[in-house]
Structure 1
Amino acid sequence: MTVTAADLGRALESVDRALRPTVTQDWTRKAGELDWDCRQTAEHVGDVLMSYAAQVVSRPQDHYVRFLAKADEGATPQELLELALTGARLLKAAVSTSAEDVRAYHPTGKADPEGFAAMGCAELLLHGEDLATGLNTRLDPPREVCANVVARLFPGEAPASDPWDGLRWRAGRIALPGRSRQTEWKWQGAPLGDEASRSVNGVCL
């Protein structure tokens, strides 16, 4: 696989490293340019990565496994970070124990474990940056992981020499020299050539 469970592990380590020092701060701050605050963003990351893990192990063909992961009302910033990273660890375990021919529902097409791993890395890193920005710190993700994610989710010519810039540009987060910020974008959840993916513009799912 181009994107592996090990990539998920490296992505979560970079997010943990960036955000661990911020757990004494106020996580009701706005998360970057999102409408969510940091608490809601951490909940979203934990929920969506647990949802991806559930898809990989349960393999529904036409729906998401029906649940919502939320933090307790009194959860501390440290516990919110734990929730987000737990989602990543569960997805990592699901991907590492699944055969490559597994397929499960996603709005962008029936994804394989590699696709869910790539989408999980993207969610973790992009929203990790939202959290880092809101908490006045910086995320510095592993560039090889970013390159693998871009190659899997956004097939075609790499848009930037820095894969992290490339991922952020592909996901409508930044402009690049000579390339304006994208207002509509989609990623490829289904394996290339497996089936046509359905467009999902401007959102991470």
Structure 2
Amino acid sequence: MRSADAAVDGEDVRRVVALAIDALRHADPQAWEAKAGTLEWTCWETLEHLADDLFTYAARFGLTEPPMSAVSPFRTSSDRSGGPANVIFVDRAAGTEGLMIVLEACGGLLASVLRTASSATVAYHVFGRSDPEGFAAMAVVETLVHTHDIAQGLNLEWSPPREVCERVVKKLFPHVSIDGDAWEVLLWATGRTALRDRPRLTEWRWYGTQGA
């Protein structure tokens, strides 16, 4: 277990992706068209979106000079009106095991790219340019909270390690105090739930430029 002050890196991405796959792999294959938590996307679409996030984060740091004002010019599309606009889609014929393969591949790709990226490199994100640690933390947050969304839709339990939750809250949500369970605080900070003394957020963002 890492300390609460340890940097977030590609190995954290690999770890939480592996935990997410373990939690989701054995869900009923017929349940994946259910809505993912409070999202308008299905569980299948939400996992595709998560894989797409990890892939497009990796693509930024595959460039000698990462983009500073926009994402890479991949052509995105959506399978249906209201669905996520992605680069990455999973062959439906591959079933849910195909989903897990694509998610693991995209997470592994990002972990590998972050391991070789210079800590001085920054790349574009809509919430502000960030360094490899910032993108690692973003990827961890995306994985944690979207696995939460999907697990809700599939009626599964999902309880990630608190120490990694604490580290990404400190990295990306410096305005948020951790005065309780770090996982519950992260869910509150990303608009998923209310806390006893804090109403549920209707708007939220992270601050990836911290430390960049």
Q: Please give the range of the TM-score, normalised by the shorter of the 2 chains.
A: 0.7 to 0.9
Match of residue 62 from structure 1 = 69
Counterpart contact for 2:188–2:194, Cα < 8 Å: yes
Distance 2:23 2:31 in 1: 16
Match of residue 53 from structure 1 = 58
Where in structure 1 do 4 or more consecutive aligned residues deviate above 3 Å?
none
> Unaligned stretches of 5+ in structure 1?
195-205
Q: CA deviation at 1:99?
A: 1.1
1:3 aligns with 2:8: yes
Counterpart contact for 2:191–2:203, Cα < 8 Å: yes
1:32 aligns with 2:37: yes
Where 1:51 maps in the other structure, the secondary structure is: helix
Amino acid at match of 1:65: S
1:174 aligns with 2:174: no
Aligned-pair identity (%):
39
1:19 aligns with 2:24: yes
What is the TM-score normalised by the length of structure 1?
Answer: 0.88
> What does 1:127-146 align with in structure 2 at a 5 Å threshold?
127-146=146-165
Number of matched pairs: 193
CA deviation string 1:83-129 (max 9, x = no partner): 22322111111111111001111111111000110000011110011
> Which region of structure 1 is more displaced relative to structure 2, 2-11 or 173-182?
2-11
Distance 1:168 1:179 in 2: 12
Distance 1:19 1:25 in 2: 13
1:87 aligns with 2:106: yes
Where 2:26 maps in the other structure, the secondary structure is: helix
Distance 1:130 1:78 in 2: 19
Counterpart contact for 2:91–2:98, Cα < 8 Å: no
Distance 2:202 2:149 in 1: 17
1:110 aligns with 2:117: no
Q: CA deviation at 1:66?
A: 2.2
Distance 2:51 2:28 in 1: 16
| Higher RCO, 1 vs 2 (CA within 8 Å, ≥6 residues apart) | 2
What is the TM-score normalised by the length of structure 2?
Answer: 0.85
> Which region of structure 1 is more displaced relative to structure 2, 125-134 or 18-27?
18-27
Q: CA deviation at 1:23?
A: 5.7
**Match of residue 71, structure 1, among 90, 109, 112:** 90
Counterpart contact for 2:191–2:204, Cα < 8 Å: yes
Counterpart contact for 1:108–1:187, Cα < 8 Å: yes
* CA root-mean-square deviation: 1.6
1:191 aligns with 2:192: no
Amino acid at match of 1:4: D
Amino acid at match of 1:61: M
Amino acid at match of 1:13: A
Counterpart contact for 1:23–1:78, Cα < 8 Å: no
Q: CA deviation at 1:183?
A: 0.9
CA deviation string 1:32-73 (max 9, x = no partner): 111111111111011111000111222112211122111224
Amino acid at match of 2:67: P
